[in-house]
Amino acid sequence: MISIFFSGFLIGLAGAGHCLGMCGGLASMLSVGQSSSAFNIVAYNLGRILSYGLFTLLLASTLQFGLSEYYSAFMLPLRTFAGILLVFMGLYLCGLSRLILRVESIGRYLWRFIQPTAKSFLPIKNPAQALGAGLVWGWLPCGLVYSTVLWATSLGSISLSMVAIFGFAMGTLPTMLLAGFFAKQLKNLWQQFHLKWLFGFLIIIYGLYSIPYFKNLLSNIG
């Protein structure tokens, strides 16, 4: 389980640039003009992490119990699809492909129903509102989250899925916490040191490794 946790953690950490683009603006708003800004930022991220966990739990439970007859048959294609999405995510971070945005567009249909609720939490004035915002905004259409949730649910058990998504959430946490105070500076560092290439490449490598065919091929070579 430790290796699964760290795999998820590294995916979350490597997706820092995408996190800044998707949620960094909202996170930075939490620290503007509020005496309880630190509590707001922590509460927002707690809500965001809980939403990722709920998303993963719902999907993993549906696969393992609702579709139990087909569960074993689903695993291989699901792992392959999740690995391909991670590769697309890495290519997007490197600026080489925008195909992952088509995956995000799928979630926009659901987001139409959630968005009014999400907007009702703005402007955020206290930790309770921040927690609610995190719970709702965590469902924002995001290729990084979608691909990671699919990867987590392809691991074969609900417990492993939850460990993986928790690791991912912890990997996104440093960037999102810092974005609450230093969003502009983080974006400048990201661009100045061309970190998108490093982290994008890491996600591509892990995505390929998580595809069963490539994993078996690498094992045979080794």
Looking at the chain, the whole-number percentage of residues with pLDDT higher than 90 is 13
* Residue (of 10, 3, 58) closest to 206 by Cα position: 10
* Residue (of 28, 26, 221, 32) closest to 133 by Cα position: 26
According to the model, what pLDDT value does residue 125 have? 81
**Cα–Cα distance measured from residue 94 to residue 54, given in angstroms and rounded to the nearest whole number:** 30
Looking at the chain, the whole-number percentage of residues with pLDDT higher than 70 is 75
The boundaries of the domain holding residue 53 are 2-74+103-144+154-194
120 belongs to a structural domain: yes
Residues in the chain, overall count: 222
Q: What is the pTM of this model?
A: 0.78
Provide DSSP, 118-163. HHTTPSP-SHHHHHHHHHHHTTS--HHHHHHHHHHHTTSSHHHHHH
Confidence band, pLDDT 50/70/90 cuts, at residue 35: very low
204 belongs to a structural domain: no
* Alpha carbon distance, N-terminus to C-terminus of the chain: 23
What tokens were used for 98? 């925008």
How many domains are contained in the chain?
1
125 belongs to a structural domain: yes
